[in-house]
A and B are shown apart, each in its own frame.
Chain A
Amino acid sequence: MTYLRDLGSGLLGSLRVMSRNKVGFAGLIITFVIVLTSLLSPYFVHMEMTANLDAIYQGPSAQNWLGTDYQGRDIFKQILLGGREVIYVAFLAGILSCGIGVAFGALAAILGGWFDTIATAAAELVITIPQYPLLLVLAGFIRLNSPIGLAFIIASISWGGLMLAIRAQVFSLKERDYVQAARALGLPTSHLLLKEIIPNMMSYILTNLVMRMTNAIYGQVGLIFLGVVPMAQNNWGVMYSLANRQGAIFGVNSAWYIMAPIFAIALLQFGMINMNRSLEELFNPRLRRGE
């Protein structure tokens, strides 16, 4: 019970710190609302997928809050349902690329020697090659058809920068007194890494995860727009690319169809980018003002 109470008060304290930065806190709330609705709405919202040719490109009304698309289907419902896959791919790609970056960076700094040389060279190479064309070519050669494959490809090209940063941080952290003390106690390297070093980089890793997720959103929506990744489900990227193909930009009412997914993606990214500011304040007390 006391454990639960501690956890609760800890969370409340964190929220209080995070709420100090107004824009950052707004970002946190926006992100949470969008992620929650996107994850939950598939269980509540029912989408009529058959075409209704009498109601093509209707403007917003009480029935269709954001109007209808080129087949007369409700846009608002598509927005509610279309976020889940985008967030899923972004999260998976973010976790994977952070995982690779942290593992390689930490191991390179700890092991040194040839592993360090090779891993560093690989990371520098990944950074040098322009990411988006590489992503396109990989996605073009390796025929993708699942969100997981897409996440893997996005992750495989975006770990370089984080790896180098983590390597540099571990190099500096492993010489700190508390790490040296733990080493003197004879604790194994895995303990040093997992219990002493990585927890101290958690804030950096977490903010990086969010940045990587926004990059993954850009990557996947772009790939879907270019038609490299066939996705049939409700998805903001698919909406955007369909709206482009159907020429939705040319009408006043039809513009809602293309504006809706753009607005949804922009709002999510805006939330995530600003949420990072609050996270940074939470983890880095030096940034806090007036305490």
Chain B
Amino acid sequence: MATLQAQPSARSGKEISTMLRKFFKNYYLRRTLKAVASVFVVTTLTFFLIRLMPGNPLDIYVASQMQTLGVSREEAEVMASSIFQIDLKRPVLLQYTDYLTGLLHGDFGLSIVSARTPVSALILRFLPWTMFVVSVSLILSFVLGVLIGTLMAYRRNTWVDYFFTGFSSILTAIPDFMVATLIIVYFGVRWKVFSVTGVRGSLTPGMVPGWRFDFFIDAFYHAALPIITYVITSIGNWMLQMRSSTMATLGEDYVMVAKARGLSEGRITSGYVGRNAILPLFTTLAIMIGGMFGGSVLIESVFTYNGIGIKLASALGARDYPVMQAVFIIITAATVTANLFADFLYGWLDPRIRTEGR
């Protein structure tokens, strides 16, 4: 009797475990969990750096307030609490959970330098510009790179191929922010193509954002140099990848069959070669997005473009820790989200990836 009863429950237990396994083998779910986990680890790391590491900024802030303002440790800790969004009177574990809930509510504490402004306000003001520049650059360089790469593969070992190969091998050697400097030195100062001081900032002073034509023109005018820098420094990667990927695809049987069927050259290039050759490029999309967000710190500093990157650079210089950690968390979250999006896109375009390991 007992065995009879046990059997169905054992089977259902097995069923549940296989269901669970199937559930976790789901490509999209696995990627999402990984993305959430990385943001979580990053926030934990910043909490550790701010609060627990020996010589951490919180202790230093408390000590400096006690010294410069002559207040007691208790008062200094209250001041530190409001700035770092960490209540020092509570146990460390609760401080940690408070900190996480604060972050989830978009509460990043106050800036030390910028007259006690909430950090979240700073981020809302500067982040959109970086998102704008990075996304436009990414799309431009990807599309142009794919087109040129295909051309290089079809015209391999001609001057077109050699020219672009040489171009990309020289440009990969120069760090992107130095390319930015070169653009200013030659196109701005020497040949006066643009006014070096005029393109600074993300908008001309006095320009009011709105759905108007002159606003968009102005936004693009100021974003043009960072976008050009991103595009010419990242396009080489797409070109060379697309070139080798296209050359590999050209030898595939289905291309041969398409030719034998007498399909037009244009149809074969776009529908048979291009569509398959482009797939491997999506795996590096994630790395490129991270690199672009990272590079924004330096490129925006060179062009004085008012994005999140230059904010991180100035926070670093002024040791404005609440701003530093917030920008870092935001950049990580943005990169991880973009990666997740790229993964989903890749899984949607290439079903082999989605069903891998099932």
List A residues at the B interface (Cβ < 8 Å).
Answer: 23, 124-125, 127-134, 136-138, 140-143, 217-218, 221-222, 225-228, 240, 244, 249-252, 255, 258-259, 262, 265-267, 269-270, 273-274
Contact = CB atoms under 8 A, between A and B. Distances in A.
Interface centre among A132, A226, A259, A269 (most CB of B within 10 A): A132
Given A124-B34, A128-B38, A226-B298, 10 more contacts: A130-B293, A131-B291, A137-B49, A141-B321, A143-B55, A222-B298, A226-B317, A240-B178, A251-B189, A269-B174
Given A227-B317, A252-B190, A270-B173, A132 B178 contact: no
A258 B181 contact: yes
Given A133-B328, A134-B328, A128 B336 contact: yes
A249 B181 CA distance: 8
B256 interface: no
B162 to A, nearest CB: 11
A130 B189 CA distance: 33
A132 B295 contact: yes
B356 to A, nearest CB: 14
Contacts of B34: 124, 128
Contacts of A250: 189, 196
A225 B172 contact: no
A116 B327 CA distance: 32
A165 B324 CA distance: 32
9 contacts: A128-B35, A131-B294, A133-B294, A226-B313, A226-B317, A249-B184, A249-B189, A255-B190, A265-B175
A226 B301 CA distance: 8
B335 A222 contact: no
B340 to A, nearest CB: 10
B41 A270 contact: no
B228 to A, nearest CB: 17
B241 interface: no
A222 B290 contact: no
B73 interface: no
Contacts of B301: 225-226
Given A129-B332, A132-B297, A137 B324 contact: yes
Contact of A133 (B37, B332, B339): B332
B297 A266 contact: no
B177 interface: yes
A78 B291 CA distance: 31
Contacts of A23: 169
Interface in B66-82: none
B175 A132 contact: no
A117 to B, nearest CB: 13
A222 B175 contact: yes
Contacts of B185: 249, 255, 258-259
A230 B170 CA distance: 30
A129 B293 CA distance: 11
Nearest to A135: B294
Nearest to B339: A128
Given A137-B325, A255-B185, A129 B42 contact: yes
B335 A270 contact: no
Given A130-B293, A222-B177, A270-B173, A141 B332 contact: no
Contact of A130 (B46, B55, B175, B332): B332
Contacts of A125: 37-38, 41
Contact of B175 (A129, A221, A267): A221
B182 interface: yes
Given A125-B41, A225-B301, A249-B184, A136 B316 contact: yes
Nearest to A222: B298
A142 B184 CA distance: 33
Contacts of B178: 240, 262, 265-266
A285 B34 CA distance: 39
A221 B312 CA distance: 17
Contact of A255 (B38, B46, B189): B189
A134 B190 CA distance: 36
A196 to B, nearest CB: 29
B316 A130 contact: no
Contacts of A133: 293-294, 297, 312, 327-328, 331-332
A140 B319 CA distance: 7
Contact of A269 (B173, B313, B324): B173
Contacts of B274: none
B57 A141 contact: yes
A31 B247 CA distance: 31
Contact of A274 (B53, B169, B181, B335): B169
A226 B297 contact: yes
Interface string B321-358: 10011011001100110010000000000000000000
Contacts of B190: 252, 255
A152 to B, nearest CB: 15
A161 to B, nearest CB: 9
A228 B301 CA distance: 14
A130 B325 contact: no
B310 to A, nearest CB: 10
Interface string B123-135: 0000000000000
A113 B215 CA distance: 58
A270 B53 CA distance: 39
A270 to B, nearest CB: 4
B291 A270 contact: no
Given A249-B181, A252-B190, A255-B185, A262 B294 contact: no
B77 to A, nearest CB: 20
